[in-house]
């Protein structure tokens, strides 16, 4: 087991805890860098999707996992980001301008829903955000002069610093780069006063308020950041799909996003990536196993949705910390081997993190 | 002029006057205690000063400034910190993070600076960390620094909550039943700390407390309430001997 002897306060602020962190993250970076050279183009596409969902997941994690505000309407921000990007690219904006604009506009929409949501919590907030998502979906479908309605609209290629992003692996690098930036931003938020204020709101609003946290300001801010990150993901998603229509951004996507953060592990940034991998890989796994299943089950419509639901129930019942929680436990098991005690994690509850971030 | 001046405070919940025409005056550097039977309106007065409730009538002045209309989160900015009767900590954060949140009112960095973690943010973090370490030393919490609050026993949580309030560097500290749920030894520690907080840190204290031994031990003045009304005010011994106070606790 590793014991860290702290000698300066900087050690609690740093991004890595010890040399091992640098090594493993370095290795991960290297693997991501060489992936397009090694992997089939199909898998690169899947990795791109994973990165895109993880970007949105970071946004939702900040809101749900860290601020404790549930949202069933994140597909709306995804959609706003995607359509803003598509429209602006069509209007001839450069990617470096249209992409941040997509995020900012989604963020502004996030403020618009965040303000009326200030007085709502729990189930009521879930319903309000859900209703909001339906409104946005309807606007996307009806505002035909801009969005072309259900007909959908094509999305032009990114041209970045004179280079056309027209291949799968190029978009992959863009998505990974954005994911890393978004992760860094989230990490910085979490280790600074704003992040602590968000966690404070999650755990006790009266205490947060009595310590001088402006609840209205920080809740609105949480909605804004969350929506902006999700909007960025939406913009990349538009480029991934090449053709977008309102039915890509429905309630099902909102639920998928929420599943992602819950299954990945609420209150951890690692969990976002695990959750994204899960969300993208599960349909693949189901597709593979479908051939093996008896035709009675395999031919049922809605098999995927049923599986998602089943897994969500199992996770909430048995592993409230999600995949990341399981990962920590496995790590702990090997760290203390052979002294692992069964009761080590007996008192855990949901909404917890065993180590920071 | 006192640090806190409450004038003719009134608040009603439905037909009940929880606080009825209460006035008091807390001097700078004083330990002032509110006592009274259950439902007398003690915590309600705390919540009025914290601005969680709006008074129906009356005014509260803090440090010469009328705070009756302030926003609740502004109260901490003005230098009033409080603890809660049923401990309100950030359960899923470490003791350190809880205390660092106490420094929130001193934060000067903007969000855009934090998102890229500019050197100014780092400096502020280190500055706050040093302040927090002083509080940790003061209350002897070194051992619990990196532990999650949810894993701590009740007595320690109580101290952590006190520490978090101290980390705000308040002028007025309001303690809602600091000894409730503590054993004899822990209550003694609390009494020492309360005196130290006044003497070493020069903080004025306002307490709600039931343990009369602790009250008599540390308080300069005591205010006794019953059914939302003031029935006695004065030194601990004079209030304890007051006929109305005895009647309120023991009946006719």
Radius of gyration (Cα) for chain A, nearest Å? 21
pLDDT at B126: 92
- Report the alpha-carbon distance of residue A158 to residue A98 in Å, rounded: 10
**Distance to chain A for B159, nearest Cα, Å:** 15
Minimum Cα–Cα distance from A209: chain B residue? B73
Give Cα A175 to chain centroid, integer Å.
Answer: 13
β-pairing verdict for B204-208 and B172-176: parallel
A183 and chain B in contact, CB less than 8 A = no
Using a CB-CB distance cutoff of 8 angstroms, which residues of chain A are in contact with residue B85?
A: none
Half-sphere CA count of A54, side-chain side, radius 13 A:
29
Give the pLDDT confidence score for residue A347 in this predicted structure. 57
Note whether A7 contacts B: Cβ–Cβ < 8 A: no
Element (H or E) spanning B175, and its range?
A: strand B172-176
Interatomic CA distance for residues A121 and A70, integer angstroms: 8
Per-residue confidence band for A232, with pLDDT thresholds at 50, 70 and 90: very high
Is there a contact between A188 and B73 if contact means CB atoms under 8 Å apart?
Answer: no
Give the distance from residue A196's alpha carbon to the nearest chain B alpha carbon, in angstroms: 6
- What does pLDDT average to over chain B? 91
| Bridge partners for A169 per DSSP | none
Contact B104 A193 (CB under 8 A): yes
CB contact under 8 A, A204 and B81: no
pLDDT digits (tens, 9 = 90+) for A1-48: 677 788 888 888 887 778 788 888 999 999 999 988 888 888 899 999
Distance, in Å, from the CA atom of B103 to the CA atom of B114, rounded to the nearest integer, reads 16
Identify which of A48, A247, A56 has the alpha carbon closest to the alpha carbon of residue A153. Answer: A247
Residue to substitute from A65, A212, A232, interface B, most B β-carbons within 10 A: A212
Which of A304-318, A335-349, B197-211 is most confident?
Answer: B197-211
Distances in Å between the Cα of B166 and the Cα atoms of B32, B169, B234 are 17, 5, 27
Token pair recorded at residue B134: 């002083």
What is the overall mean pLDDT for chain A? 86
Q: Which residues pair with B59 in a beta bridge?
A: B7
B93 touches chain A (CB under 8 A): yes
Nearest residue to A202 (alpha-carbon basis) of B101, B153, B225: B101
Q: What pLDDT does residue B243 have?
A: 87
Locate all alpha helices (DSSP H) within chain B, ordered by sequence. Answer: 42-49, 72-78, 95-102, 111-115, 119-139, 154-167, 184-201, 212-218, 236-241, 243-250
Peptide bond into B69 cis (omega under 30): no
- Of the candidates B37, B22, B62, B66, which has an alpha carbon nearest to the alpha carbon of residue B170? B62
- Burial of A327-351, coded b for 16+ CB within 10 Å and e otherwise, reads bbbeebeeeeeeeeeeeeeeeeeeb
Instruction: Give the pLDDT score at B223.
Output: 93
**Predicted pLDDT at A309:** 81
- B117/A192 touch (CB, cutoff 8 Å), yes or no: yes
Of A192, A199, A347, the CB nearest to B121: A192
Give the orientation angle of helix A41-60 with respect to helix A215-241, to 10 degrees.
Answer: 170
Q: Which residue has the tokens 């919940």?
A: B13
Residue B148: list chain A partners with CB under 8 A.
Answer: 352
What are the φ/ψ torsions at residue B228 (nearest 5 degrees)? Answer: 80, 0
Which tens digit of pLDDT belongs to each residue from A70-104? 899 999 999 999 999 999 988 888 888 999 999 99
Cβ neighbours around A218 below 10 Å, total: 19
CB atoms within 10 A of CB A118: 15
**For residue A266, which residues of chain B lie inside 8 Å, CB to CB?**
none
Give per-residue pLDDT as tens, A247-291. Answer: 889 888 998 899 899 988 888 899 999 999 998 988 888 878 777
Inspect the interface and report whether the beta carbons of A209 and B101 lie closer than 8 Å. no
* Beta strands B204-208 and A163-165, pairing class: unpaired
Q: What is the pLDDT of residues B38-77, one digit of tens each?
A: 888 889 999 999 998 999 999 999 998 999 989 999 999 9
- CA A197, B178, A193: angle at the middle one, nearest 5? 10
Q: Does A344 touch chain B (CB under 8 A)?
A: no
Residue that has been written with the tokens 């995927």 in this structure: A304
Nearest to A188 among B77, B102, B117 (CB): B117
Of A213-227, A284-298, B96-110, B177-191, where does mean pLDDT reach its minimum? A284-298
Asked if the Cβ–Cβ distance from B90 to A207 is below 8 Å, we say yes
Residue A299 has pLDDT above 80, yes or no: no
For residue A66, the distance in angstroms to the closest alpha carbon of chain B comes to: 10
SS3 string, chain A, reads CCCCCCCCCHHHHCCCCCHHHHHHHHHHHHHHHHHHHHCCHHHHHHHHHHHHHHHHHHHHHHHHHHCCCCCCCHHHHHHHHHHHHHHHHHCCCCHHHHHHHHHHHHHHHHHHHHCHHHHCCHHHHHHHHHHHHHHHHHHHHHCHHHHCHHHCEECCCEEECCEEECCHHHHHHHHHHHHHHHHHHHHHHHCCHHHHHHHHHHHCHHHHHHCCCCHHHHHHHHHHHHHHHHHHHHHHHHHHHCEECHHHCCHHHHHHHHHHHHHHCCCCHHHHHHHHHHHHHHHHHHHHHHCCCCHHHHCCCCHHHHHHHHHHHHHHHHCCCHHHHHHHHHHHHHHCCCCCCHHHHCCCCCCCCCCCC
Q: How confident is the model at residue A355 (pLDDT cuts 50, 70, 90)?
A: very low
A352 inside 8 A of chain B by CB: yes
Is pLDDT above 90 for A181?
Answer: yes
How far, in Å, are A4, A32, A170, A185, B92 from residue A27 at the CA level?
22, 9, 21, 21, 31
Task: Kindly state whether B92 is in contact with chain A, defined as any CB-CB distance less than 8 angstroms.
Answer: yes
What is the H or E stretch that residue B229 is in?
strand B229-234
Instruction: Kindly list the residues from chain B whose CB atom is less than 8 angstroms away from the CB atom of residue A11.
Output: none
Consecutive H or E run containing B224: strand B221-226
Between residues A329 and B26, which one has the greater pLDDT?
B26
CA-nearest residue to A353 within chain B is B92
What is the model's pLDDT at position A348? 56
pLDDT of res. B157: 93
A13 CB neighbours in chain B (<8 A) are 122, 125-126
Query: What is the number of CB-based contacts under 8 A between chain A and chain B?
Result: 113
pLDDT band, very low/low/confident/very high, at B137 (cuts 50, 70, 90)? very high
CB contact under 8 A, B104 and A351: no
Rounded distance, CA A25 to CA A29, Å?
Answer: 6
Look at B1 and B12; give whichever has higher pLDDT: B12
The answer to whether A122 touches A65, Cβ cutoff 8 Å, is: no
Residue in A211, A328, A352 to test binding to B, most B beta-carbons within 10 Å = A211
| Residue A1 pLDDT | 65
Beta strands B80-82 and A243-244 are unpaired
Query: What are B4's strand-pairing partners?
Result: B26, B62
Q: Which residues of B touch A193 (CB under 8 A)?
A: 100, 103-104, 107, 109, 114, 124
For residue A202, the chain B residues in CB contact (below 8 A) are 90, 92
First CA to last CA distance, chain B: 38
Cα A117 from Cα A119, distance rounded (Å)? 6
Locate A263 and state its tokens.
Answer: 């299954």
Residue with more model confidence, B160 or B14: B160
Q: How far apart are CA A73 and CA A63, in angstroms?
A: 12
pLDDT of residue A346: 60
Question: Chain B window 134-163: which residues touch A at a Cβ cutoff of 8 Å?
Answer: 148, 150-151
Per-residue pLDDT at A51: 95
pLDDT confidence band for B103 (50 / 70 / 90): very high
| pLDDT above 90: percentage of residues in chain B | 65
B172/B142 Cα distance (integer angstroms):
25
């Amino acid at each position: 087991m590793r014991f860290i002897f702290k000698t300066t306060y900087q050690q609690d602020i740093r991004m890595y805890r010890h040399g091992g962190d640098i090594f493993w993250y370095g290795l991960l970076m290297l693997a991501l860098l060489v992936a397009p050279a090694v992997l089939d183009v199909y898998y690169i596409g899947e990795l791109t999707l994973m990165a895109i969902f993880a970007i949105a997941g970071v946004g939702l994690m900040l809101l749900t996992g860290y601020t404790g505000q549930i949202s069933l309407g994140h597909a709306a921000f995804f959609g706003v980001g995607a359509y803003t990007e598509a429209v602006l690219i069509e209007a001839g904006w450069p990617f470096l301008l249209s992409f941040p604009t997509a995020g900012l506009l989604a963020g502004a929409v996030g403020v618009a829903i965040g303000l009326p949501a200030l007085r709502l919590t729990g189930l009521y907030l879930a319903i309000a955000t859900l209703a909001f998502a339906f409104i946005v979906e309807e606007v996307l479908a009806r505002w035909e002069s801009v969005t072309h309605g259900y007909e959908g609209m094509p999305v032009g290629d990114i041209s970045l610093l004179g280079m056309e992003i027209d291949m799968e692996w190029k978009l992959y690098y863009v998505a990974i780069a954005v994911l890393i930036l978004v992760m860094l931003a989230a990490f910085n938020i979490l280790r600074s006063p704003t992040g602590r204020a968000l966690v404070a709101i999650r755990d006790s609003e009266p205490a947060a308020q009595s310590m001088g946290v402006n609840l209205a300001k920080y809740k609105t801010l949480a909605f804004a950041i969350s929506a902006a990150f999700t909007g960025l993901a939406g913009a990349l998603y538009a480029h991934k799909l090449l053709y977008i229509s309102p039915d890509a951004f429905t309630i099902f996507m909102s639920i998928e996003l929420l599943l992602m953060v819950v299954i990945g592990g609420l209150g951890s940034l690692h969990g976002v990536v695990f959750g994204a991998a899960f969300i993208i890989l599960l349909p693949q796994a189901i597709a593979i196993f479908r051939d093996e299943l008896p035709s009675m089950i395999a031919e049922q419509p809605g098999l995927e949705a049923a599986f998602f639901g089943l897994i969500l129930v199992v996770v909430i019942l048995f592993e409230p910390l999600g995949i990341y929680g399981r990962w920590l436990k496995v790590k702990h098991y090997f760290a203390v081997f052979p002294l692992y005690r069964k009761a080590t994690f007996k008192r855990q509850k949901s909404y917890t993190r065993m180590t920071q971030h | 002029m006192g640090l806190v001046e409450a004038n003719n405070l009134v608040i009603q919940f439905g037909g009940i006057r929880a606080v009825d025409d209460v006035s008091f005056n807390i001097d700078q550097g004083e330990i002032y205690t509110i006592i009274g039977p259950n439902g007398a309106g003690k915590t309600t007065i705390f919540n009025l000063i914290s601005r969680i409730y709006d008074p129906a009538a009356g005014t509260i002045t803090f440090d010469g400034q009328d705070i009756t209309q302030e926003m609740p989160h502004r109260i901490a900015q003005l230098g009033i910190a409080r603890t809660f009767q049923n401990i309100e900590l950030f359960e899923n954060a470490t003791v350190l993070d809880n205390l660092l949140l106490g420094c929130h009112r001193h934060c000067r960095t903007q969000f855009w600076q934090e998102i890229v973690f500019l050197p100014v943010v780092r400096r502020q973090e280190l500055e706050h960390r040093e302040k927090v370490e002083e509080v940790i030393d003061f209350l002897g919490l070194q051992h619990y620094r990196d532990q999650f609050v949810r894993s701590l026993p009740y007595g320690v949580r109580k101290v952590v909550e006190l520490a978090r309030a101290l980390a705000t560097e308040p002028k007025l500290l309001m303690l809602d039943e600091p000894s409730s749920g503590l054993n004899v030894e822990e209550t003694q520690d609390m009494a020492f700390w309360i005196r130290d907080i006044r003497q070493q840190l020069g903080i004025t204290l306002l307490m709600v407390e039931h343990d009369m031994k602790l009250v008599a031990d540390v308080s300069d003045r005591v205010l006794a309430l019953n059914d939302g009304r003031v029935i006695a005010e004065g030194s601990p011994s004079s209030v304890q001997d007051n006929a109305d106070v005895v009647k309120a606790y023991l009946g006719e």
